Amino acid sequence: MCVSFFNLYFIFNNKLSQVIFLWKKCFKMNNKKTMIGSAMSA
């Protein structure tokens, strides 16, 4: 049980970091005003 839970958690963490990486990459393509605005609202 513990091992399977740890595996699921590890996979979830990997997917989450990938999503955050792509999200940051996407914002870099946008202009800097939008990036600053979203950083302030977040």
Handedness of CA 33, 34, 39, 41 (dihedral sign): positive
Q: What is the pTM of this model?
A: 0.44
Return the pLDDT at 35: 56
- Residue 42's closest CA among 18, 22, 24? 24
Residues 1-10 pLDDT 10s: 567 888 888 8
CA 35/CA 28 separation, integer angstroms: 7
Residues 16-33 pLDDT 10s: 999 888 888 877 766 566
Where in the chain are the domains?
Answer: 2-41
CA 21/CA 10 separation, integer angstroms: 17
